[in-house]
Chain A
Amino acid sequence: MRRLVPLHVNGEEHEVAVSPQTTLLEALRYGLKLTGSKQGCDKGDCGACTVIVDDKAVLSCVALAMQHVGAKIETVEGLGDAGGPSPVQRAFDACGALQCGFCQPGMIASATALLRQTPKPSDSQGREALAGNLCRCTGSTTIIEAVRAAGDARSVLPDAADGTFPQQVPMPHGPPVPGFQVIGRRARKADAIGKATGATAYADDIALPRMAFGRILRSPHTHARIRSVDTSRAAAMPGVYAVMVGRDLPTPFCVIPWTPDEHALAVDKVRYVGDGVAAVAAVDEATADAALAAIVVDYEVLPDVLDPSEALAPGAPLVHDTDWKGRPRTDNICKDVSLSFGDVDDALARSACRIAGEWHYSGSTHAAIEPHCAVASWSADGNLTLWSATQVSHYLHREIAKVLDIPEGRVRVIQPAVGGGFGGKSEPFDLEFCAAWLARAAGRPVKILYTREEVFYAHRGRHPMDFRFELGVSADGRIEAVDSNVVIDGGAYHSFGLVTTYYAGQLLPGPMRFGTYRFNSKRVYTNKPCCGPKRGHGSVQPRFPFETALDEAAEKLAIDPIDIRRRNAMEGGERTVNGQLVPSCGILECLDAVERASGWRERYANLPAGRGLGVATSMYISGTAYPIYPNDMPQSGVSIQADRSGRLTVFTGANDIGQGSSAVIAAIVAEETGVPPEWITVVAGDTDLTPVDLGSYSSRVTFMAGTAAIEAGQALRHILCEAVAAHWTCAAEDVVPLLGKVIHRADPNRAVDIITALRLAEARLGRPAIASGGYRTRAVGGDYRGGTIGASPAYSATAHVAEVNVDADTGVVRVERIWAAHDCGRALQPVLVEGQIEGSVYMGMSEALYEDHAFYDGGGNVGPRVRGKHRGPNLLDYRLATSLDTPEVLASIVESIDPGGPYGAKEAGEGPLHPAIPAIANAIWRATGARLRTMPFTPDRVLRAMGRLDS
Chain B
Amino acid sequence: MLPLPSFDIVQPRSARDAVAARAAEPQSLYLAGGTDLLVNLKHGLHAPRLLVDLTRVEGLGAIRELPDGGLALGAMVRLESLATSALVALRAPGLATAAAAIAGPQHRRAGTLGGNVLLDTRCLFYNQTEFWRASIGFCLKKDGEHCHVSGSPKGCVAAQSSDTVPMLTALEATAHFLLPDGAAHTVPLAGLFGKDGRYERVHQIPTGALLTEVQVPPRRGWVAAYHKVRSRAAIDYPQLSVAVAAKFEGTTLRQLSLAVGAMLPAPRLVGPFDDLFGKPLDDAAIDQIALRVGKACRPMTSVHGDPAWRRHMAVVETRRALNSLR
Question: Which A residues form the contact surface with B (CB < 8 A)?
Answer: 1, 19-21, 23, 26, 39, 42-45, 47, 50, 56-59, 62-64, 66-67, 110, 128-129, 131-132, 218, 220-221, 273, 285-286, 289, 449, 451-453, 809-811, 850, 860-866, 869-874, 876-877, 879, 881-885, 938-940, 943, 949-951
Contact = CB atoms under 8 A, between A and B. Distances in A.
Nearest to A941: B306
Secondary structure dominating the interface of B: loop
B304 A131 contact: no
A132 B312 contact: no
Interface of B: 1-9, 11, 31, 34-35, 38-39, 41-42, 51, 53, 55, 80, 103-107, 109-110, 124-125, 127-129, 131-132, 134-137, 139, 144, 146-152, 231-237, 301, 304-306, 308-309, 312-313, 316
A884 B124 CA distance: 24
Contacts of A58: 106, 109-110
Contacts of B7: 20-21
Contacts of A220: 131, 134-135
B14 to A, nearest CB: 17
Contacts of B134: 220
Given A62-B35, A67-B53, A869-B132, A940 B309 contact: yes
Contact of A809 (B109, B150, B316): B316
Contacts of A876: 127, 235-237
A131 B105 CA distance: 7
A870 B132 contact: yes
A132 B233 CA distance: 10
10 contacts: A21-B6, A26-B1, A43-B38, A57-B106, A64-B9, A131-B104, A861-B148, A866-B136, A869-B132, A873-B129
B105 A940 contact: no
A866 B152 CA distance: 15
B132 A943 contact: no
Given A62-B35, A67-B53, A949-B309, A882 B235 contact: yes
Nearest to A293: B130
A111 B20 CA distance: 41
Contacts of B234: 131-132, 882-885
A285 B3 contact: yes
Contacts of A950: 308
A218 B9 contact: no
Nearest to A29: B1
Contact of A811 (B53, B129, B139, B309): B309
Contacts of B41: 21
Given A64-B53, A131-B235, A872 B128 contact: yes
Contacts of B6: 19-21, 286
A850 B231 CA distance: 7
Given A453-B132, A810-B313, A940 B305 contact: yes
A943 B309 CA distance: 8
B1 A285 contact: yes
Given A131-B233, A940-B309, A59 B136 contact: no
B91 to A, nearest CB: 24
A63 B34 contact: yes
Contact of A860 (B109, B236, B301, B305): B301
A862 B2 CA distance: 26
B11 A66 contact: yes
B38 A64 contact: yes
B309 A23 contact: no
A66 B132 contact: no
B236 A132 contact: no
Given A20-B9, A449-B1, 11 more contacts: A56-B109, A57-B106, A62-B34, A62-B38, A63-B38, A64-B31, A131-B105, A131-B233, A132-B235, A879-B235, A938-B306
Secondary structure dominating the interface of A: loop
A879 B232 contact: yes
Contacts of B144: 863
B8 A1 contact: yes
Contact of B306 (A285, A865, A874, A940): A940
A132 B104 contact: yes
A42 B44 CA distance: 14
Contacts of B128: 872-874
Contacts of A221: 135
B236 A39 contact: no
Contacts of A129: 105
A452 B132 contact: no
Contact of A452 (B2, B31, B53, B106): B2
Contacts of B4: 21, 23
A132 B232 contact: no
A345 B304 CA distance: 44
Contacts of B105: 57, 110, 128-129, 131-132
Contact of A940 (B9, B152, B308): B308
Contact of A45 (B51, B233, B235): B235
A43 B103 CA distance: 13
Nearest to A451: B2
Most chain A C-beta atoms within 10 Å of own C-beta, residue among B104, B146, B147: B104
Contacts of A871: 124
Contacts of B137: 863-865
A106 to B, nearest CB: 9
A940 B305 CA distance: 8
A132 B103 contact: yes
Contacts of B313: 810
A453 B232 contact: no
B283 to A, nearest CB: 15
Nearest to B320: A809
A449 B80 CA distance: 33
A771 B181 CA distance: 82
Contacts of A810: 313, 316
A876 B313 CA distance: 21
A206 B6 CA distance: 25
Contacts of B236: 876, 879
Nearest to A871: B124
B233 A43 contact: no
Most chain A C-beta atoms within 10 Å of own C-beta, residue among B80, B132, B235, B308: B235
B158 to A, nearest CB: 14
In the complex, the 4 A-B pairs of residues with the closest C-beta atoms, listed nearest first: A132-B104, A861-B151, A131-B234, A220-B135
Contact of A862 (B42, B51, B127, B148): B148
A489 to B, nearest CB: 20
Nearest to A45: B235
A808 B42 CA distance: 41
A45 B151 CA distance: 30
A877 B316 contact: no
Given A949-B308, A949-B312, A43 B148 contact: no
Contacts of A861: 147-152, 301
Contacts of A863: 136-137, 139, 144, 146, 148
Contacts of B109: 56-58
B106 A43 contact: no
A451 B231 contact: no
B134 to A, nearest CB: 6
Contact of A877 (B3, B51, B124): B124
A884 B232 CA distance: 8
A951 B105 CA distance: 36
A865 B135 contact: yes
Contact of B309 (A131, A286, A939): A939
A533 B148 CA distance: 33
Nearest to B42: A43
Contacts of A110: 105-106
B137 to A, nearest CB: 4
Contacts of A850: 231-232
A471 to B, nearest CB: 30
A885 B232 contact: yes
Nearest to A882: B234
A879 B8 contact: no
A498 B232 CA distance: 36
A43 B131 CA distance: 15
A870 B135 CA distance: 10
Given A62-B39, A110-B106, A873 B132 contact: yes
